[in-house]
C-alpha cells in the first residue's frame, strides 16, 4: 500500500491554494476566538458575569478560572475529535470543530449578564468556555493534517507551518480588535456592549472558513486509508479504535510529542500573558505599551514560522528544533534583563527575539508531529501529544510565573523556569528519530518516534 501514495495524482495548484488558506484561516479563526475570551476574562467579565457582593480579586480569580477551563478541555477535545478524525476524515472533523467554536463564541457575545439571570451567567460562561476548549483541542490536528497530508514531497514543513501561522494571526487580530474598540469607545460604552462586538464578529470568520473547507476533498492520505479499511472490512478484519490504539501502542510517541511541545507552549504564554501581568503589576508600566510589544513580536512570528519550517524541509526537523530549544532556554535570561529595563523598545526586542527562537520549534512542529504517527492514528496521536502538553505547560505557565515572582522576588526565577522547560523539550526531541525524509503512509511505525514509512 505504501506504493499507492506514489501513484496518486498530484493535487492541482488551485487545490493547494485552498488547502493553505483553509489551514491558516481555520487556525486563525479558532485562536482569535480562544484569545479574545482570555482578554475579556481579564477586562470585563469579572464585573459582568459574577456577583457584585464579592471582592474585586475574587471576581477576577473566578473569571480567570473559567478561562482556565478551556485549557482543561483541550485534551478532551483532542481525544474526541482525534478519534473521529481518524475514523471519519480530517475535513469533516475540522469543520465540526470550527462550528463548535463559532457557535460557542457567538453565544458568549449575546449572553445575559449576572444582573439579568443571576448565577446562571457564570455557569453558562463555564459551559461555553469548555466548548471553546473542546473545539481548539480538535481543530489543531485537523488543520495540521489538512496541510501536511496534501503537501508535495519535501515541503511538509512549509505547508504545515500555515496551520501554525494562524496562532499569531488570531492573537494579533483579537488584541488589535480590543485596542481599536477601547480607543474609539468610552469605557462605559465598552463595558456595556462594546466588548460583545469581537465575539459576534467570529460568526463572519466562521462563514469564510466554512466556504473554503466545504470546497475541499479530504486528504490523499486519508482517502488511501479509507480504501485500505474498506478492503480490510471486506476481508473480515475488525477495525480497532484509533484512540485506544494510540494509548496502547504509541504512548511513548505521545509523551515525546508532548515533551517536544513543552517549552514552546509554556514560553509562549509567559511571553504573551505573563509579561503583561509582570509589566503592569510588578514593573509599574502602563498596559498599552506592553500590549503593543506583544503584538509586534507576535506579528513578526508569522514570518519566522514559515522560514524555519521551510529550513526544516532542507536540513531536517531535529536540527532546527533542537537549536530552537537551546537558544530559547539561553535567551530566557537576557530576555528578562531587557524587560526589567522598562524600556518599550528593549521589551519589544526581548519578546521578538524570544518569538524568533520559539518559532524554530513551532514552525517545524506540525510536520514533525504528523510524521511521528501513521495515517490510521495520526489525528489522535498528534492531537493528544499537543493538547496534553498545553494543560501542563501553557495552562500553568502564567500561574507558575506569578508564584515564582512572589516567592523569589526576582525575574531570574522565571528565566530558570523557561530553561528547565527547554531542557524537557531538548531531551524529548533528541529521542525522536528524524522524520523529514519519510512518507506519510498508512502503515504503522514499528518503533516509537520513527515516522511511518521511515
Q: What is the CATH number of the domain that holds 173?
A: 1.20.1250.20
Residue 434 has a pLDDT of 79
Last residue of a domain, one of 187, 222, 257: 222
What's the sign of the alpha-carbon dihedral 219, 148, 16, 173?
Answer: positive
Tell me how many domains the chain contains.
2
On whether residue 141 sits in a domain, the answer given is yes
Residue 4 has a pLDDT of 42
**Same structural domain for residues 92 and 132?**
yes
On whether residue 1 sits in a domain, the answer given is no
Cα–Cα–Cα angle for 98, 101, 106, rounded to 5 degrees: 125
Backbone angles phi, psi at 410, to 5 degrees: -140, 145
Tell me which residue of 28, 69, 36, 60 sits closest to 195, measured CA to CA: 36
**Grid coordinates representing 84?**
473521529
**Same structural domain for residues 217 and 272?**
no
Residue 453 has a pLDDT of 36
DSSP 8-state code for residue 387 = H
Residue 436 has a pLDDT of 66
**Same structural domain for residues 329 and 448?**
yes
**Same structural domain for residues 272 and 371?**
yes
On whether residue 434 sits in a domain, the answer given is yes
Tell me which residue of 442, 445, 389, 386 sits closest to 160, measured CA to CA: 386
Q: What is the pLDDT tens value at each position of the chain, 454 positions in all?
A: 334 444 456 677 777 787 888 888 878 888 888 888 877 887 788 888 888 777 776 777 777 777 778 888 888 888 888 888 888 777 788 888 888 888 999 999 999 988 899 889 889 999 999 999 899 888 888 888 888 888 887 888 999 999 899 889 988 888 888 888 878 888 888 888 888 999 998 887 677 667 766 777 766 776 676 676 666 566 655 666 677 777 787 788 889 999 999 999 999 989 988 888 788 878 888 878 888 899 999 999 999 999 999 999 999 999 999 999 999 999 999 999 999 999 999 999 999 999 999 999 999 999 999 888 877 788 888 888 888 888 888 878 888 888 898 899 999 999 999 999 999 999 999 999 877 666 655 543 444 444 433 3
Asked whether 372 and 454 are in contact (CB, 8 A), the reply is no
**Same structural domain for residues 379 and 280?**
yes
Range of the domain at 28: 14-222
pTM, two decimal places: 0.84
On whether residue 118 sits in a domain, the answer given is yes
Residue 1 has a pLDDT of 36
Residue 94 has a pLDDT of 83
Measured CA to CA, the distance from residue 269 to residue 273 in angstroms comes to 5
Residue 257 has a pLDDT of 92
Cα of 249 vs its chain's centroid, Å: 25
Backbone angles phi, psi at 175, to 5 degrees: -70, -35
Measured CA to CA, the distance from residue 154 to residue 270 in angstroms comes to 33
**Same structural domain for residues 152 and 274?**
no
On whether residue 258 sits in a domain, the answer given is yes
Say how many C-beta atoms besides its own lie within 10 A of residue 446's C-beta: 8
**Same structural domain for residues 214 and 277?**
no
On whether residue 111 sits in a domain, the answer given is yes
Amino acid at each position: 500500500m505504501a506504493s499507492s501514495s506514489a501513484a496518486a495524482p498530484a493535487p492541482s495548484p488551485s487545490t493547494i491554494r485552498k488547502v493553505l488558506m483553509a489551514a491558516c484561516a481555520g487556525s486563525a479563526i479558532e485562536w482569535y476566538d480562544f484569545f479574545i475570551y482570555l482578554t475579556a476574562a481579564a477586562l470585563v467579565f469579572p464585573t459582568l458575569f459574577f456577583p457584585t457582593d464579592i471582592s474585586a480579586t475574587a471576581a477576577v480569580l473566578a473569571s480567570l478560572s473559567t478561562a482556565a477551563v478551556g485549557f482543561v478541555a483541550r485534551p478532551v477535545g483532542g481525544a474526541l475529535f482525534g478519534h473521529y478524525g481518524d475514523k471519519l476524515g480530517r475535513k469533516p472533523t475540522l469543520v465540526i470543530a470550527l462550528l463548535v467554536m463559532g457557535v460557542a463564541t457567538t453565544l458568549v457575545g449575546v449572553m445575559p449578564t449576572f444582573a439579568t439571570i443571576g448565577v446562571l451567567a457564570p455557569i453558562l460562561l463555564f459551559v461555553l468556555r469548555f466548548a471553546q476548549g473542546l473545539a481548539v483541542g480538535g481543530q489543531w490536528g485537523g488543520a495540521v493534517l489538512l496541510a501536511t497530508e496534501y503537501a508535495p514531497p519535501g515541503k511538509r514543513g512549509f505547508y504545515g507551518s500555515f496551520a501554525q501561522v494562524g496562532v499569531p494571526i488570531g492573537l494579533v487580530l483579537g488584541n488589535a480588535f480590543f485596542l481599536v474598540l477601547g480607543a474609539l469607545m468610552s469605557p462605559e460604552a465598552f463595558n456595556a456592549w462594546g466588548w460583545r462586538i469581537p465575539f459576534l464578529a467570529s460568526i463572519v470568520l466562521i462563514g469564510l472558513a466554512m466556504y473554503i473547507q466545504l470546497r475541499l476533498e479530504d486528504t490523499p492520505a486519508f482517502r488511501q486509508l479509507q480504501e485500505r479499511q474498506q478492503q480490510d472490512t471486506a476481508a473480515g478484519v475488525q477495525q480497532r479504535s484509533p484512540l485506544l490504539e494510540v494509548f496502547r501502542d504509541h504512548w511513548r510517541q505521545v509523551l515525546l510529542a508532548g515533551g517536544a511541545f513543552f517549552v514552546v507552549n509554556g514560553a509562549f504564554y509567559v511571553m504573551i500573558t505573563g509579561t503583561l501581568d509582570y509589566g503592569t503589576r510588578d514593573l509599574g508600566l502602563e498596559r498599552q505599551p506592553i500590549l503593543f510589544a506583544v503584538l509586534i513580536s507576535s506579528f513578526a512570528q508569522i514570518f519566522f514560522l514559515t522560514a524555519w519550517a521551510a529550513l526544516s524541509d532542507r536540513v531536517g526537523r531535529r536540527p532546527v528544533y533542537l537549536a530552537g530549544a537551546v537558544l530559547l532556554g539561553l535567551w530566557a535570561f537576557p530576555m528578562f534583563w531587557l524587560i526589567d529595563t522598562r524600556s518599550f523598545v528593549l521589551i519589544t526586542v526581548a519578546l521578538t527575539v524570544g518569538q524568533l527562537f520559539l518559532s524554530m520549534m513551532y514552525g517545524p512542529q506540525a510536520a514533525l508531529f504528523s510524521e511521528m504517527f501513521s495515517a490510521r492514528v495520526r489525528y489522535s496521536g498528534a492531537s493528544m501529544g499537543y493538547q496534553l502538553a498545553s494543560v501542563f505547560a501553557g495552562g500553568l505557565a502564567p500561574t507558575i510565573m506569578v508564584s515564582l515572582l512572589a516567592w523569589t522576588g526576582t525575574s531570574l526565577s522565571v528565566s530558570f523556569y523557561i530553561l528547565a522547560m527547554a531542557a524537557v523539550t531538548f531531551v524529548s526531541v533528541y529521542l525522536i528519530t528524524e522524520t523529514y525524509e519519510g512518507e506519510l503512509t498508512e502503515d504503522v511505525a514499528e518503533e516509537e518516534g520513527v515516522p511511518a514509512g521511515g
